Amino acid sequence: MANSQSPKRVALVTGGSSGIGEATAEALAKEGYVVYAAARRVERMERLKPFGCIPIKMDVTKDEDLTRVVDQITCDHGGVDILVNNAGLSVYGSVEEVPVDTARYQFDVNFFGLGRLTQLVLPHMREQGWGKIVNVSSGEGKVHAPLAAWYVASKFALEGFSDCLRAETAQFGIDVVVIEPGAIDTEITGGFIDPLLETSGSGPYASIAQGMAAWFRNMSAERGTASPPSLIADTIMEAVTAARPKTRYAAGVGVRRMIFFRQWMSDRMFDRAIMRMLE
């Protein structure tokens, strides 16, 4: 799968302690890349060491962590050739009830930390005339849903950011790719129901919150309702190894159908369809 340059290329994968990040780091290492897997919980990345991955502690919301990691990789290997911005957080609850500090942290993880890390790796990519930046968005980067405003907004922002970055950096041989996962069996997908109900489960938006929680529980009880993280890792590998990758890859249960219907439905039609699902 890897191209002729891949054994010497250096990849940095954020959110490497679980889910998509862990699977992607493993896949890249197996193909001969030098892989740094970054996360706050460095102890949870021990299982990646046998594949040749280098676990490194990093909090994407702390500038000193981002600078330290990029400086270390630059010192050890010259710089980051492939950046997989995967670290993410999902905050659910009504716009009215989610504390603004929580919403701000959502953006720090999903958008501003990613943007700052991208700034730090760009000089090396630009100077060498080659680079790959893979931004893991979501199907909800294209499709809205009630009680998901802060999360959806962070992913909508990431989509626009990626489009602008792609146009800016193409002249330097840098590819910018957006990955739009659907339902994936990860911590970020499965761990939001309790916080959602804690925030909005008993207030003025309780009926929507309860309906959303019931809908996701029913999905979880059915087989085939979430794709494994390895599917997205394989999709990222396709983008990384392509000479001319697509600008977007949508993969995972339900995501292509969801994006298709959103594209062809009016705003109010889609609103009604979503709300009927939660009744």
* Cβ atoms 79, 73 nearer than 8 A: yes
> How many Cα atoms sit within 13 Å of 52 on the Cβ side?
13
Taking the C-alpha atoms of residue 130 and residue 133, their distance in angstroms, rounded to an integer, is 10
Candidates 135, 14, 161; CA nearest to 73 is: 14
Question: Residues for the chain: how many in total?
Answer: 279
Please list, in sequence order, all residues whose beta carbon lies within 8 angstroms of the beta carbon of residue 222, skipping any fewer than 6 positions away: none
Taking the C-alpha atoms of residue 201 and residue 5, their distance in angstroms, rounded to an integer, is 52
Crossing angle between the packed helical segments 206-221 and 193-200, to the nearest 10 degrees: 170
CB atoms within 10 A of CB 259: 18
Residues serving a catalytic function are: 151
CB atoms within 10 A of CB 235: 22
CB atoms within 10 A of CB 78: 12
